[in-house]
Amino acid sequence: MVTRILTALWLLWAFFPQALMAMEIQVRASRNPVALSESFTLTFEARDGVDGDPDFSPLEKEFDILGRNQSSSFQFINGARSQSVTWSLELMAKREGTLTIPAIAFGKERSAPLSITVRNAPPGPPDQAGGDPEGVLLEVEAASRNPHVQEQVILTIRFLRAVEILNASLTEPRLSSGDGVLEKLGEDRNIDVTRGSRRYRAIERSYALFPQSSGKMVLGPVTLTAQLPGQGGSALNDFLNTPFFANIPQGLGRPGRTVRVASQPIEWTIQPARSDFAGQWLPARRLLLSEKWSPDPPALRAGEPVTRILTLQADGLTAAQLPALPDRIPDGWRAYPDRPALEDLKSESGVVGKRMEKIALIPNAPGSYRLPALEIPWWNTETRSREIARLPEREVTVSPAPQPTPSPAPVAGSPRDDAPATPVVPAPAPAGESGNSGGYWPWLALLFALAWLATLALWWWRAGRPRGGLTTSVPVGDDSVPLRRAMERLRVACRAHDPVAARAALTALPVPLSGSPRLAREIHLLNAVLFSANPPAWRGDGLWEAAREALRLSSVGPSTDMAVLPPLYPA
């Protein structure tokens, strides 16, 4: 019974928060525009699940649904669960023109509409296609003919065949003139197309081309070489079933014939970056600037670090093309940036570059501050206009740092924390007192003396035993480093403002220090300096004072060696 209750609570915790989140359903087409006689893939992706099965019947008004597929994925990252469900449909338009993919219902959620341009002929000039009358065609399509420098150009190579193919090979696209970078996008895709009155099975492959300089740029011919099988069943035994040529429809060609199909060269005139554009040239289809905090929402306290995560994502640019984000913080704050994380996400629609920067921010004093706005100008390649990705300015409030709990004041007559206990000697009885009180004080003094001796013996016995699996010293090299020597090394490293030596001295401490907030902040600052790509200057005064304070508050207890720890800068 208890197990069932715990399982139900776990399921409620795992899935109920996800149900409260707004579902986001993304829809995208594998190409746009498309030809009337070509099929294309329409993909719906839902993050964090949906509350109902999709109804794709509205698509049948303008499209034929040739096939459909569904896949799901689950991820657990740092204790957070994420779910993604994808539906892929192979569609073919029923007419030409600008058609609308209607909003599709997924229970209570609906996808956004999408416009598809359908042409009567395959996009691109006819001289880009090469073919053979036996049923082998090769098409090369460029999405843009007058791009700007560094603007992404989607290049599509389409191999069509209506016959069986043996031992086929396709050359990689190469630039014969100009300067550019070609990157393959995703996996090859199988589609059905019609050219004239003939139906073909096609394999499509996409590339992203990034021109690096203005002027003329030429893509050389792409060549396909293949053998058409002879008559009879022996040809099936020689069939080479490679992933690229899988699921080839059966057909017959001339016996032993080898065909070679080459596309025509493609020429571009690359436009330079616009002279009226201020800032780094960033041509993209979309550019987003976002931020997150850790913890989120941030709890800002004076002297305590908080992490700000800035993400710049561009559709149509690689991560290497994205600029460093501006480092703008209020006066009186310290910033320790981490090494930026770069990532390229590739699909048949292009490259999406992502740059993520983590910055540890430490406000020095409480009060109200204004985080300045961040702006990244970019060039929209779809609207051909200048736009700005912007994070608005933000008002934040920094609370005072929590004060450490003071040590209780010593009681008169009790032993100090940093000195051996001394027995309490009772005062002599006043003159004139009589009765049995005179015999009471000697016995009380004897009792205190015995307690003091027992305390010293117990302290001596416990000091000689390992505490929590740790000895009073740890081996370093061939020596044994006691607590005083380790603290002395820490003092010398802090005085020299040497972060590497300071961390080594902290590691060599044979006993744990109490986890005071002040020491934790100083160790965080030390780590930020040691592991930063561009470390700032570090001063060890704060770490030394925090370590001395933590040692006094440590549960290990003082020793006679530590009772006279010198200050960092002795007079």
**What does the domain layout of the chain look like in residue ranges?**
14-119, 126-270, 283-398, 480-564
CA angle 74, 77, 80 (to 5 degrees): 80
pTM surpassing 0.95? no
Q: What is the model's pLDDT at position 125? A: 41
Tokens of 552: 């006094």
Strands 80-93 and 63-77: antiparallel
> Tokens 């289809």, residue?
285
Helix (H) or strand (E) holding 169, with range, is: strand 166-170
SS3 45: strand
Residues 6+ apart with CB under 8 A from 150: 210, 211, 212, 273, 281, 283, 317, 321
- In whole angstroms, give the CA distance from residue 214 to residue 192: 37
126-270 is a CATH 3.40.50 domain: no
Residues 6+ apart with CB under 8 A from 196: none
- Burial class from Cβ neighbours inside 10 Å (0-12, 13-18, 19+) for residue 287 reads buried
Angle between helices 499-507 and 483-495 (to 10 degrees): 170
Residues 6+ apart with CB under 8 A from 455: 421
- Burial class from Cβ neighbours inside 10 Å (0-12, 13-18, 19+) for residue 537 reads exposed
Of 489, 469, 468, 464, the closest CA to residue 479 belongs to: 489
Whole-Å CA distances, 415 to 406, 411, 448, 460, 515: 18, 8, 12, 16, 25
SS3 30: coil
Domains 14-119 and 126-270 share a fold: yes
- In whole angstroms, give the CA distance from residue 362 to residue 67: 55
The Cβ of residue 453 has, within 10 Å, a number of other Cβ atoms equal to 11
The CA-based dihedral angle spanning residues 248, 252, 258, 263, taken in that order and rounded to the nearest 10 degrees: -60
SS3 489: helix
> Tokens 């009180």, residue?
437
- 3-state per-residue secondary structure call for 196-211: CCEEEEEEEEEEEEEE
Q: What is the DSSP letter of 320?
A: G
Report the DSSP beta bridge partners of residue 344: 353
Listed in order, strand segments (DSSP E) in 399-495 are 474-476, 479-481
Q: What is the model's pLDDT at position 229? A: 74
Report the DSSP beta bridge partners of residue 26: 45
Whole-Å CA distances, 167 to 256, 257, 261: 12, 12, 14
Distance of CA 239 to the CA centre of its chain: 45
- In whole angstroms, give the CA distance from residue 320 to residue 9: 45
Q: What is the model's pLDDT at position 239? A: 40
Strands 80-93 and 39-47: antiparallel
CATH number for the segment(s) 14-119: 2.60.40
- In whole angstroms, give the CA distance from residue 317 to residue 151: 8
Q: Going residue by residue through the chain (571 aa), what tens digit of pLDDT does each one get?
A: 445 544 544 454 444 444 434 457 888 898 888 877 677 889 998 877 677 888 899 999 999 888 888 888 766 555 566 678 888 998 888 888 999 999 998 888 888 899 999 987 554 444 445 555 567 888 999 988 789 999 999 999 998 888 888 777 889 999 998 999 999 998 888 888 888 888 888 889 999 999 999 999 999 999 888 777 764 433 333 443 344 444 444 333 334 567 788 888 999 999 999 988 888 999 999 999 999 998 877 888 888 888 999 999 999 999 999 999 887 888 889 888 889 999 999 988 899 999 999 999 999 899 999 999 999 999 999 899 999 999 999 899 999 987 665 555 555 444 444 444 444 444 444 444 444 444 555 665 666 667 666 666 665 555 554 443 333 333 333 344 467 788 888 888 898 888 888 887 887 777 666 567 788 778 878 877 776 656 677 888 888 888 888 887 765 544 444 444 556 555 4
- Burial class from Cβ neighbours inside 10 Å (0-12, 13-18, 19+) for residue 498 reads middle
- In whole angstroms, give the CA distance from residue 89 to residue 62: 14
The Cβ of residue 404 has, within 10 Å, a number of other Cβ atoms equal to 13
Q: What is the model's pLDDT at position 344? A: 94
Q: What is the model's pLDDT at position 562? A: 46
- In whole angstroms, give the CA distance from residue 90 to residue 88: 7
Tokens of 466: 């390992």
- In whole angstroms, give the CA distance from residue 533 to residue 536: 10
Of 209, 381, 394, the closest CA to residue 282 belongs to: 381
- In whole angstroms, give the CA distance from residue 241 to residue 245: 6
